[in-house]
Amino acid sequence: MNKNIKVAIIASSLLLSSANADFLRAELGAGAWLAKSSGEIKAKNGNGIDSSKEDSQTNFYAWAYFKHFLPLVPNLKLEYSKVENEGRADGNFSSYNTTGQNSDFTMKQIDIIPYYNILDNTFWTTIDLGVDFKLIDADYEVSGIPNSKISKSFVLPMGYARARVEIPATPFGIEADIKYIKYSDNQAYDSKIKIDYTFDFPVIQPALEVGYRVQKIKVDKLSNLETDLDFSGVYAGLMLRF
């Protein structure tokens, strides 16, 4: 057989194997995030301030990412999480007045993240860069005041970066990611750092993850309210690696 043909066949086989491996690469995870809230919600028109009670709430989170072999098409990561804040509202909120009533703020988030793999386990290091489209469903209500309820859905586009290091000769990995945007008086970020342990099984590998997450949402998207809230705390969950 011609030498060039042999080289081409071997190279094609290696590329195909690599492509198939990348095409099948996926991870799923789910768990609980114990998030403590802080900050405030202010009226745009009026002197009303809703101060956080700085309580902690435990909520479900889930994520998944998929990696393929197509060179110009971005890979995809999906995330879901929810945060809650209990506050105390006092003052004039444009259409109503409050005198220390309790309030509830809930924010459900779906992150759609197309990203490119800059390094793929090169010297045990992975780096991803992309864009996050954070879809937010927010609800706010002051107890005992019917016309205080506000429900809003909006999208925050954010920059996204992720770095991961596999600790050689161990089942441990360390990973961090951040999403960030700042414009005008608005600012939002969502950052995590974790360590995980992967069990060595064929095909599907279960894993455990433990980390710390910090999130800030300072936006003026809730009608006549300005939200400036922070959420932070530990999280833990289960993973499946394919």
The verdict on residue 9 lying in a domain is: no
pLDDT of residue 221: 81
The verdict on residue 73 lying in a domain is: yes
The verdict on residue 92 lying in a domain is: yes
pLDDT of residue 8: 40
pLDDT of residue 11: 38
pLDDT of residue 23: 53
The verdict on residue 5 lying in a domain is: no
Domains in the chain, number: 1
The verdict on residue 123 lying in a domain is: yes
* CATH label of the domain that carries residue 215: 2.40.128.90
Task: Please choose, from the candidates 41, 36, 47, 35, the residue with its C-alpha nearest in 3D space to the C-alpha of residue 228.
Answer: 41
HEC string for the chain: CCHHHHHHHHHHHHHHHHHHHHHCCEEEEEEEEEEEEEEEEEECCCCCEEEECCCEEEEEEEEEEECCCCCCCCEEEEEEEEEEEEEEEEEECCCCEEEEEEEEEEEEEEEEEEEEEEEEEECCEEEEEEEEEEEEEEEEEECCCHHHCEEEEEEEEEEEEEEEEECCCCCEEEEEEEEEEEECCEEEEEEEEEEEEECCCCCCEEEEEEEEEEEEEEEEEECCEEEEEEEEEEEEEEEEEC
The verdict on residue 18 lying in a domain is: no
pLDDT of residue 145: 85
pLDDT of residue 121: 86
pLDDT of residue 3: 52
Q: Show the domain range for 237.
A: 26-241
pLDDT of residue 24: 67
Per-residue pLDDT of the chain (242 residues; tens, 9 = 90+): 455 444 443 433 433 333 334 456 899 999 999 999 999 999 887 788 999 999 999 999 999 999 988 889 999 999 999 999 999 999 888 678 888 899 999 999 999 999 999 998 899 999 999 999 999 999 999 998 878 888 999 999 999 999 999 999 999 999 999 999 999 889 999 999 999 999 999 889 999 999 999 999 999 888 778 999 999 999 999 999 98
The verdict on residue 7 lying in a domain is: no
- Residue 170 phi/psi, 5-degree rounding, is -135, 165
**Locus of tokens 């992720």:** 162
The verdict on residue 133 lying in a domain is: yes
pLDDT of residue 15: 37
